[in-house]
Amino acid sequence: MPFTVTPTAIPDVLVLEPKVFGDARGFFFESFNARDFAQATGLEVAFVQDNHSKSAKGVLRGLHYQIEHAQGKLVRVVQGEVFDVAVDLRQSSPTFGQWVGERLSADNKKQLWVPLGFAHGFVVLSESAEFLYKTTDYWHPEHERSLLWNDPAIGIDWPLQGQPLLAAKDAAGKLLCDAECFP
């Protein structure tokens, strides 16, 4: 298997660590292989969109989700480091309202699988970071929602010094008690 899969405290959210082949010239690894992903995770997914963002230190993006056309996301960092977070918004889940976080970086090459029914976001820890993610559905702005990044009912322990830099839609995110959630 070209990577190892480790469940997080919320077992549906997975950390994938690739097998990296390196020498004096540099390194090589498969960042995604559908057959191996299905075999290792038991999930058959079809990705339809790849996204790439660059953000400065202290930028917090999220916590985003689409209430219709929900997206599964496979996320990774190709430059810099982020603290990546997934929040369970599935009301029928025993982990509803809970979160998990993982440091993703160009150095550790870890990826995070964020399944449907989760809000997702990250904060940049390095001077800047380039973030890549594959999605299982297209972006539908009319269905996009934002969960408030610092909702005390969720209690995410963001590794921040001071306030993050936020987009207006993220600063206006909903509290969990007011958010549209999944069944």
In this prediction, residue 112 carries a pLDDT of 98
Percent pLDDT > 90 in the chain is 91
Provide φ and ψ at 26, rounded to 5°: 145, -140
Which residue segments constitute the domains of the chain, with CATH numbers given? 3-178 (2.60.120.10)
pLDDT per residue as tens digits for the range 14-37: 999 989 898 999 999 888 999 999
Alpha-carbon distance of 12 to 150, in angstroms, equals 23
Mean pLDDT of the chain: 96
- Of 94, 151, 84, 101, the closest CA to residue 117 belongs to 94
Mean pLDDT for 118-141 is 98
Active site residues: 64, 133
pLDDT per residue as tens digits for the range 34-75: 999 999 999 999 999 999 999 999 999 999 999 999 999 999
Q: How would you write 3-68 as a 3-class SS string? A: EEEEECCCCCCEEEEECCEEECCEEECCCCCHHHHHHHHCCCCCCCEEEEEEEECCEEEEEEEECC
Task: Give me the residues paired with residue 133 across strands.
Answer: 51, 75
Distances (CA, A) of 180 to 122, 143, 148: 20, 10, 12
In this prediction, residue 1 carries a pLDDT of 65
In the numeric block, the tokens 């997206």 are attached to: 71
In this prediction, residue 3 carries a pLDDT of 85
In this prediction, residue 57 carries a pLDDT of 98
